[in-house]
Structure 1
Amino acid sequence: MIKNTLGIKPLASAITLALMLGGLSSCSSASLDTSASSNASSNSISQSEQSAQNVMAQDTNNPFFKPYDTFAGMPDFAKIKPEHYLPAFKAGIAEQKSEIQAIIDNPKAPTFANTIEAMEFSGKLTSKIARVFYNLTSADTNDELRAISKEVAPLLSAARDDIRLNDKLFQRVKTVYQQDKSGLTVAQQKLLEDTYKSFTRGGANLNDADKLKLRALNEELGKLSLAFGDNLLAETNAFELVIDNEQDLSGLPQDVINSAAQTAVKRGHPGKWVFTTHRPSITPFLTYADNRELREKIYKGYIERANNNNANDNKQILAKEAALRAERAQLLGYPSHAHYVLEERTAKTPENVYKLLDRVWPAALNQARAEVAQMQKLIDSEGGNFKLAAWDWWYYSDKIRVAKYSFNEQQTRPYFSLENTLKGVFYTANRLYGITVKERTDLPKYNDEVRTWEVYDKDGKLMAIFMGDYYVRDSKRGGAWNNSYRPQSHIEGVNTIPIVVNVLNYPRPTGDEPALLTFDEASTLFHEFGHALHTMLSDVEYASQAGTSVPRDYVEFPSQVMENWMTQPEVLSHFAKHYQTGEVIPQALVDKIRAASQFNQGFATVEYMAATKLDLDWHSLSDTTPKDAAKFEAESLSNMGLIEEIAPRYRSTYFSHIFAGGYSAGYYSYLWSDILGADAFEAFKENGIFDKATADAFKNNVLSQGGSDDPMLLYKRFRGKEAGIEPLLRSRGLLAK
């Protein structure tokens, strides 16, 4: 299960935002140097400013050049066309150049207000465009948007480096950084610290030659990241398992069969059944299909994506990315890309992450081996003359689950319709934080399937707009994530409410049935709404510190906590009702869910941790020569002792989190956040799952604070102590009995 979100770190600039939203490398740029002479720079800026004004004055039909005339300032999706993006981006970049130059040319001595805050408030137009564009390239893309992305990326990258590598601007920032900070609030001190670091980490201390080299590295990395993502999308959409013999559907639930028939019609195979490597299709097939040969075929289709030595192969791309990241890190004074990345995370060093993994790995691997033995015993008892293989795991683990607990996830589907699960999410948020929602069908949307709600706080005041995009489609990348079209901020008495979106990939309704979710899929809905709450309950001054603008290894923590409420009897009884009869989910089935919750945790933990170790191995490299990707991966998996019955959750060629997203050297973040989440929920179990004081403490010290303070200090204020690892191990059944 992918649980992805984008935490946007300061530097102000919408340029950084655009790169993060676009899933590019942490630094990417083109080779344009504007930090030369002040006269040349000033003239260039002046021309850019005039050009931007001319463009906006002439193109009165471009919706980005004026305030949205919509409810709560939502993006006016109906009026935004592909041809609007490029001129708008160019105008936004020029406008911000002018804003930055005004900061540099300010004759007054540098202060927090005229330098740091002025930078924070710059780039609003580019931010406005980027939040629409990069959300859509993930959730509802097309060939036009992909082409524009390739053209825009180097422009944004160059603009970003133009800011970070501008020595005159850096000297102003440095002056403020060295001043007495006692008059600044905690949030202001954090903004100053982060802004200063963004310059030093962005190459501000490099000489001119090395700055040029950094720009070239950044530009190339940006291109490679885009190419990786495009190749993976093409490979994922290209694979299809076409079944024309009904006997080959043996074992599959009827709703899965119905969905495959719909996919077949959509893909031009009427009268047949089509399964794809999208999770809602492949997971039930691997779990229930009796045909072992077909399970092997679709499994290999999944794990060999972008690894087929064709036009979409990613091996050379990712190997070059890893090498260039190592080269860039060393240019900036770090031993490896992992050291560079983790300096800003709560983990601090790759050594700390490896130590954490080494505490969990042995117990998880031992449990996985025990699970293998159980399944092999079942295969042998059935007369199967074969050794358990990776494509057998879901199928036989489900058989054991049924035998051991009289439970499989298909039993839960009737009780978790999408509609009811949404009610459960909203009910939980209401009980915890007093939130209420009102659905609107008349608000702008980028796709007809999007749903929209007004969100009100406990005092009945509009606090956010929430959008939900729930069904799988070819124009949407896989997984599930939270993002925002506008962050919260509070400047000079004006509170800007956030516009938040959850994007998931559920199967569409079939026939007369509503969209029915498995227990695991419903849990993902709670998880992503945890991110949404983090975004919507934000109460900070600066937009760059709002909501999920926190370190990667902290951002998943609030959403991991939110998952816990779904399994609570009081919550289940409120929403987990049979879609036909209205019957509340039977307690006996709930007991089975709980009893089975620790089942297969060896597999789940090992496949995740294998991907985590693979990520760290790639990004702990100090060698700047591209590796043989296949050989490197094989050696990495061998060194960690991964058993052959389990593949990493993401192999290198389709590991988009790290090669086309923002999680390079950071995929461990889910486990790190799980530790915090499991420990935090202990407080609710101790005091009552809806205890007002505990909920208020969590909201006031965690959810509302975003990135305005040190995250571990915020956690300790809530919990009163550092997080322990035991609650996580206990929840997964990995503590020694």
Structure 2
Amino acid sequence: MMNNPLLDSYALPPFSRIRPEHVLPAVTQVLADNRAAIQALSVPGTTPTWDTLVEPLEDLEERLNRVWSPVSHLNAVMNSDALREAYNACLPLLSDYATEVGQNEDLYRAYRQLAEGPEFARLDGAQRRLVDNALRDFRLSGVDLPPAQKARYREIAQELASLASRFQDNLLDATHAWSKHLEDEEQLRGLPESARALARQTAAAQGKSGWVFTLEYPSYLAVMTYADDRRLRQEFYTAYVTRASDQGPHAGTWDNGALMERLLALRHEQAQLLGYRNFAELSLATKMARSCDEVMGFLTDLAERARPHAQRDLQELRTYAREQHGLETLKVWDLNYYSEKLRQHRFQLSEEEIRAYFPVGRVIAGLFELVRRLYGLTIQAREGVDVWHPEVTFYEIRDSAGELRGAFYLDLYARPKKRGGAWMDECLTRRRSRAGVQLPVAYLTCNFAPPAEGQPALLRHEEVLTLFHEFGHGLHHLLTRVDYPGVAGIHGVEWDAVELPSQFMENFCWEPETLALISGHYQTGEPLPKSLLDKMIAARNFQSGMQMVRQLEFALFDFRIHRDYDPALGGRIYPILSEVREQVAVVFPPPFNRFPHSFSHIFAGGYAAGYYSYKWAEVLSSDAYARFEEQGLFNPEVGRAFLTHILETGGSRNAMESFVAFRGREPKIDALLRHNGLAERA
């Protein structure tokens, strides 16, 4: 046991030394140690203080996180059968432990004593908020339930953790199981050289001639956007939208259908155990929105504003495809292809032409320069850090006084055995203890097309937005000045406000001043020409109505399957999705489309009955950004205010207080509508 790297005291995780066989022994050991320590802590009859109750519990949480964070991360970015098995073997143990702590009546009593005792008034605001949140979380863990219901809650929590992991595993396996090997160059017509080069590189890595295209998003999107071969697009679309389902080329092999039904049933049961009518109500216990009606009203209002714009967008696309290309019936696998053609036609703007100006190195250097101008931060790469893959880089972030504030790993490229999508996750959280201040460390993960055949990786503008988005989450985690992990960084922030700093960053990607920083032709270094910049800005809201209603479709579907769940009827996943589409959608996919089977945000991530948060937080982020528009993009006073009131405060006070402290008033929806080209009612 002595040579288990997960049990070592480390400054940064020893990724190269972690093996699947280390995982279960390390987790088992730490859980046993923590249980013994908790038993010694919660002694009835003693008067709890911050130092004798909260800080020791934070020590235990920190020790567990140091074991689990690198394991969980590796499972997402370097998945293997052995690691997956070890990871999944630990989930019930971790779930049991979390429920046990959450239902520990002695600890709950101790926190209540602390909250009601004289010391509470002497705690600072962040400490009081942490104690209040802890009391809420004890109740949400079922601490007040009778023994039989407590036991049932524990069973549900354990099964939910296992189901979510299986959902993600199925999706990963289904995504990587399908590929298309092409040897006839005629089928590649329309595809840009960058997509062909990546496919050649993929084929060569598999010892094949020709080209191999996959369902990893950069490869899939290139086919859907550029391939002239309509049957090829249809084949890719069918494979992609039926992943992990009962339909398509691998029908039934990794079907998530039964898992989704079970997840919904268990969430509903869990909510009712805790006294809520449904899981949507339970989810709002930790959010800004106050009721299900408020969420539905918000989404419905946005849909009513956006749908006429979306209908016009679609009609325009149909007319263009018919009049310019003789296409009588526009199918779903034609949407990306003809949208790109229409954009080129209307704005003389091609995504490939734009990509040439966004080599990844230039984008990152420009992003770092932007945060220097906004907040006085400097970011520098650090060599010699132990990473999980040769493509990963490590950076340190310092403030204007030269003080080290945190660090992050950057893992940019798609590869086999890596989960799709983009995300920020925590490696270490800021924390002050007797040993001093532990600085935060983040994982920033994307899935861009890797460099191919000697060319640098080039980003689509949408991918630039993705990078800025995840970096915004990273800054929220890394720049916190709060010393207590439970409310530091993104911790303790209401879930429907947590996207504020990430979406806020996206706005800069449309500004001429920022674009000058982050762009430069990959061959000549020439800046983005004004003519191209003007076209990009003119095209900013191209099809924004269709994009908006698509997001609202996801949000309403998610909220309704959780709010309207009826045990007698089951999940009604597809009937509810159909109802939502009738209400808001303009595009109606074919019956074999199984989008929910791959909707990991809500079935395997933290967004269950919370996908609306993206739009809710966009109201906050757009309005916050409007202050920069009004007072100057790089106005140091405004930058300092955003840093102080939003990024540094983390979850130490409620999100509305932080917003008002920055903006001087409560949020308005105007900026969101303006940024999306929906300002006037259609």
Larger deviation: 481-490 or 492-501?
492-501
* Change over 3 Å in CA distance of 1:383–1:423 after alignment to 2: closer
Whether the aligned pair in 2 keeps the contact of 1:318 and 1:629 (CA below 8 Å) is: no
Aligned to 1:607: 550
Q: How large is the Cα RMSD of the aligned pairs?
A: 1.9
Q: Secondary structure of the residue that 2:15 maps to in structure 1?
A: coil
Aligned to 2:8: 66
Q: Distance in 1 between matches of 2:605 and 2:596?
A: 13
Aligned to 1:47: none
Q: Which of 212, 219, 222 is matched with 2:161 structurally? A: 222
Q: Secondary structure of the residue that 1:522 maps to in structure 2?
A: helix
Q: How many residues are paired up? A: 674
Q: Distance in 1 between matches of 2:346 and 2:392?
A: 40
Letter in 1 for 2:15: F
Q: Which of 175, 180, 183 is matched with 1:236 structurally? A: 175
Displacement of 1:322 in angstroms is 0.4
Is residue 2:125 matched to residue 1:125?
no
Whether the aligned pair in 2 keeps the contact of 1:263 and 1:274 (CA below 8 Å) is: yes
Whether the aligned pair in 2 keeps the contact of 1:140 and 1:475 (CA below 8 Å) is: yes
Displacement of 1:653 in angstroms is 0.6
Aligned to 2:112: 174
Whether the aligned pair in 1 keeps the contact of 2:623 and 2:672 (CA below 8 Å) is: yes
Normalising by structure 1, we get a TM-score of 0.88
Aligned to 1:668: 612
Whether the aligned pair in 1 keeps the contact of 2:553 and 2:581 (CA below 8 Å) is: no
Displacement of 1:107 in angstroms is 4.5
CA deviation digits over 1:523-555, x for unaligned, max 9?
211111111111111111101222122222111
Aligned to 1:556: 499
Letter in 2 for 1:531: H
Q: Which of 633, 656, 675 is matched with 1:712 structurally? A: 656
Letter in 2 for 1:135: H
Q: Secondary structure of the residue that 1:608 maps to in structure 2?
A: helix
Q: Which of 312, 321, 331 is matched with 2:273 structurally? A: 331
Whether the aligned pair in 2 keeps the contact of 1:326 and 1:621 (CA below 8 Å) is: no
Q: Which of 600, 619, 623 is matched with 2:562 structurally? A: 619
Q: Distance in 2 between matches of 1:636 and 1:314?
A: 22
Q: Which of 349, 359, 370 is matched with 2:312 structurally? A: 370
The 5-angstrom pairing of residues 435-514 of structure 1 reads: 435-492=377-434, 494-514=436-456
Is residue 2:536 matched to residue 1:593?
yes
The 5-angstrom pairing of residues 506-525 of structure 1 reads: 506-525=448-467
Aligned to 2:358: 416
Larger deviation: 281-290 or 380-389?
380-389
Q: Distance in 1 between matches of 2:532 and 2:496?
A: 34
The 5-angstrom pairing of residues 134-173 of structure 1 reads: 134-173=72-111
Displacement of 1:161 in angstroms is 1.4
Q: Distance in 1 between matches of 2:265 and 2:26?
A: 34
Letter in 2 for 1:570: E
Displacement of 1:659 in angstroms is 0.7
Q: Distance in 2 between matches of 1:307 and 1:124?
A: 38
Over 6 Å off, 4+ runs: 647-650
Whether the aligned pair in 2 keeps the contact of 1:481 and 1:504 (CA below 8 Å) is: yes
Q: Secondary structure of the residue that 1:555 maps to in structure 2?
A: coil
Aligned to 1:19: none
Q: Secondary structure of the residue that 1:467 maps to in structure 2?
A: strand
Whether the aligned pair in 2 keeps the contact of 1:702 and 1:714 (CA below 8 Å) is: yes
Displacement of 1:655 in angstroms is 0.7
Aligned to 1:685: 629
Displacement of 1:626 in angstroms is 6.5
Displacement of 1:628 in angstroms is 6.0
Q: Distance in 1 between matches of 2:386 and 2:590?
A: 42
Q: Which of 37, 42, 48 is matched with 1:99 structurally? A: 37
Letter in 2 for 1:642: A
Q: Which of 703, 724, 727 is matched with 2:668 structurally? A: 724
Displacement of 1:556 in angstroms is 1.1
Q: Secondary structure of the residue that 1:505 maps to in structure 2?
A: strand
CA deviation digits over 1:497-532, x for unaligned, max 9?
111221000111112211111111112111111111
Whether the aligned pair in 1 keeps the contact of 2:374 and 2:636 (CA below 8 Å) is: yes
Q: Distance in 1 between matches of 2:575 and 2:147?
A: 35
Aligned to 2:337: 395
CA deviation digits over 1:281-315, x for unaligned, max 9?
11121111111111111112111111224131011
Q: Distance in 2 between matches of 1:351 and 1:726?
A: 21
Aligned to 1:88: 26
* Change over 3 Å in CA distance of 1:391–1:527 after alignment to 2: same
CA deviation digits over 1:223-279, x for unaligned, max 9?
2112111111111111213322211111111111111122223345x2222222221
* Change over 3 Å in CA distance of 1:562–1:385 after alignment to 2: closer
Q: Distance in 2 between matches of 1:492 and 1:123?
A: 16
Q: Which of 642, 648, 659 is matched with 2:603 structurally? A: 659
Q: Secondary structure of the residue that 1:78 maps to in structure 2?
A: helix
Aligned to 1:322: 264
Is residue 2:201 matched to residue 1:262?
yes
Displacement of 1:492 in angstroms is 4.8
CA deviation digits over 1:179-203, x for unaligned, max 9?
3532221111101111001111110
Displacement of 1:380 in angstroms is 1.9
Q: Distance in 2 between matches of 1:144 and 1:621?
A: 39
Q: Secondary structure of the residue that 1:504 maps to in structure 2?
A: strand
Displacement of 1:112 in angstroms is 3.8
Displacement of 1:383 in angstroms is 5.5
Whether the aligned pair in 1 keeps the contact of 2:289 and 2:295 (CA below 8 Å) is: yes
Aligned to 1:13: none
Whether the aligned pair in 2 keeps the contact of 1:611 and 1:650 (CA below 8 Å) is: no
Q: Secondary structure of the residue that 1:343 maps to in structure 2?
A: helix
Aligned to 1:276: 214
Whether the aligned pair in 1 keeps the contact of 2:242 and 2:594 (CA below 8 Å) is: no
* Change over 3 Å in CA distance of 1:707–1:136 after alignment to 2: same
Letter in 1 for 2:149: D
Whether the aligned pair in 2 keeps the contact of 1:93 and 1:126 (CA below 8 Å) is: yes
Q: Which of 482, 489, 493 is matched with 1:540 structurally? A: 482
Letter in 2 for 1:590: L
Normalising by structure 2, we get a TM-score of 0.95
Q: Distance in 1 between matches of 2:578 and 2:371?
A: 46
Letter in 1 for 2:483: E
Letter in 1 for 2:40: A
Q: Distance in 2 between matches of 1:110 and 1:459?
A: 38
Letter in 2 for 1:404: R
Displacement of 1:354 in angstroms is 0.9
Q: Distance in 1 between matches of 2:581 and 2:429?
A: 44
* Change over 3 Å in CA distance of 1:190–1:383 after alignment to 2: closer
- Structure with greater contact order relative to length (CA < 8 Å, sep ≥ 6): 1
Displacement of 1:441 in angstroms is 2.6
Whether the aligned pair in 2 keeps the contact of 1:252 and 1:284 (CA below 8 Å) is: yes
Runs of 5+ unmatched residues, structure 2: none
* Change over 3 Å in CA distance of 1:504–1:385 after alignment to 2: closer
Is residue 2:125 matched to residue 1:186?
yes
Displacement of 1:629 in angstroms is 5.2
* Change over 3 Å in CA distance of 1:220–1:559 after alignment to 2: same
Aligned to 2:240: 302
Q: Distance in 1 between matches of 2:391 and 2:585?
A: 41
Letter in 2 for 1:567: W
Displacement of 1:569 in angstroms is 1.8
